[in-house]
Structure formats: structure tokens, C-alpha cells
Amino acid sequence: MGKRICPFCKEYVQEDAILCKYCRSELSPLPPKKTNWKVFGLVLLIFMILISIGIIFSDDQSDKTPVPLNTPIPSKNPDAVLKLPKFKVVAQDLTTLTILVSKDIKNDQLETLISGFRTARERNILSRFIPATTKGGIKGDYAIIWIFVFSEPDWSTADKLKRFINMSALSETDKQFEKEYTKHIKAEYYYSDLVGDEYGSLGYDDGVITAPNYKKLF
């Protein structure tokens, strides 16, 4: 399957993707192909764009070793402590993470968690909570972050995350999987320094699918 460039963040995505896995923008279907004789030039152009925006990832980002449960971490201000509900990073696919929380977690705790990720980013202490998502990039190790919060271990796995990220717009099976997968997302956090966007919510919403438990936080 071929690749194409997201017109919004200039990242390399699946040719038939309906959602950019980097900036989360909706993508329009490509027109039918006519020729393929300029593939080499196109690949070279994509590589140059990736270098120019600094999103060249290191070889170790496939590492999905779970991060230990977090503890309160002092910020740059020694009098302030950032306290987050307990969670564990279960899987990572480039800029996207799935984290697992207690099955008994309450909505106010989820709101604290999502707001805490924003606070940690503002204080530049995200590395104390989650692994780098754009490691080595010229805009830093956290230029793009997309976090899905689950309370069910079976839905937080690396295999399900990878399938969600690489869904095909042409597959009815993938569309059904997307509906089921997003229904289990307890909360979501997204940040992109490339497009200047940041938001957090309970549940999931992408403008097409809105979970029953959706609530915008910021």
C-alpha cells in the first residue's frame, strides 16, 4: 500500500488513511492514480520535508516497555507538586500512546489526569510521566502527543492501537473496529506544536464519531 503526505502537518501517512495519525486531521480520498513514474522524486521530497520539520524518529521508538505507575513529581517550582491518578503506559505507536487506569476510576479523576498532562507539558516535565513521542525532533521530544486512556486491558494493547492508527478508509471491517475501539476510550489528550492545537476530553470525538460519554474539557 502506498503513502502520501498529510496536507496539514506534512507527515507521511497511509495512502487511503481517513485520519492523520500525527495531527489528527481528516483526510480527503485521493483521486485515482494515473502514473507512478515519479515515485523516486516524491520519496525524496517527503524525506526532505520530514527533515525540515524535525520529525525524524530514533530507532528505539518501537519500544513499548510499560512505564511504572507514576508518583507525585515536583515541578520547576519546588512548592508545587503535580499529582495525577495512577496509570501505566501500555503501548506506543510513534506519537500515539495508550495508557491504562483503574477500572473503578471516576470522571473527576479522569479530568484531573487529562488536565495534568497539559500542566506537565507546560512545565516541561512530561518525560517524568510518559515516553518521548517525537524523540530527537528539532521541536523537542513532545512536539506531537496523542493519548488514549483505557480502563480495560484488552482494549489498551499495542495490536489494537496499531490497527486503529493504520485503518483503511476502504475497509468496512476497519470502520466497525473504529466504532468499537473508540467506544472504549475513557479519555483523550492531544497536543501538536506543529499546528498549534491542544485539547482534552472525556470519551472520544473526531467530528464523525462521538462517544456517548464524550465531554470536552479544553
Provide the pLDDT for residue 57.
47
Q: Which residues are paired to 147 by β-bridges?
A: 97, 189
Provide the pLDDT for residue 54.
62
Domain count for the chain, please give it. Answer: 2
d(CA 122, CA 124): 5
d(CA 144, CA 142): 5
Provide the pLDDT for residue 130.
94
Check whether residue 45 and residue 73 sit in a common domain: no
Check whether residue 100 and residue 204 sit in a common domain: yes
Provide the pLDDT for residue 41.
67
Check whether residue 11 and residue 84 sit in a common domain: no
Domain stop point among 53, 68, 89: 53
Check whether residue 112 and residue 162 sit in a common domain: yes
pLDDT digits (tens, 9 = 90+) for 54-113: 655 444 444 445 444 444 444 455 445 688 999 999 999 989 999 999 999 999 999 999
Confidence at 22, pLDDT banded by 50, 70, 90:
confident
- pLDDT, mean of residues 116-126: 94
Check whether residue 48 and residue 156 sit in a common domain: no
Structure-model confidence comparison of residues 11 and 193, the more confident one: 193
Instruction: Name the DSSP letter for residue 138.
Output: T
d(CA 202, CA 213): 7
Provide the pLDDT for residue 43.
67
Check whether residue 31 and residue 112 sit in a common domain: no
Check whether residue 79 and residue 172 sit in a common domain: yes
pLDDT digits (tens, 9 = 90+) for 154-186: 999 999 999 998 888 788 898 899 889 999 999
Check whether residue 67 and residue 46 sit in a common domain: no
- Per the prediction, the chain carries an average pLDDT of 81
In this structure, what are the phi and psi dihedrals at residue 132, rounded to the nearest 5 degrees? -60, 145
Q: Which residues of 8-41 are buried (b: 16+ CB within 10 A; e: fewer)?
A: bbbbbbbebbbbbbbbbbebeeeeeeeeeeeeee
Provide the pLDDT for residue 32.
62
- Residue 27 in contact with residue 40, Cβ under 8 Å? no
Instruction: Kindly report the number of other CB atoms within 10 A of residue 64's CB atom.
Output: 17
d(CA 46, CA 192): 20
Check whether residue 212 and residue 164 sit in a common domain: yes
Check whether residue 80 and residue 15 sit in a common domain: no
- pLDDT, mean of residues 137-163: 93
The model carries a pTM of 0.65
Check whether residue 75 and residue 119 sit in a common domain: yes
Structure-model confidence comparison of residues 39 and 10, the more confident one: 10
Provide the pLDDT for residue 14.
80
Confidence at 195, pLDDT banded by 50, 70, 90:
confident
What is the extent of the structural domain holding 66?
A: 59-216
Determine which helix (DSSP H) or strand (DSSP E) holds 163, and give its type and residue range: helix 158-165
Domain stop point among 14, 29, 53: 53
Check whether residue 31 and residue 63 sit in a common domain: no
Reduce the DSSP state of residue 180 to 3 states and report it: helix
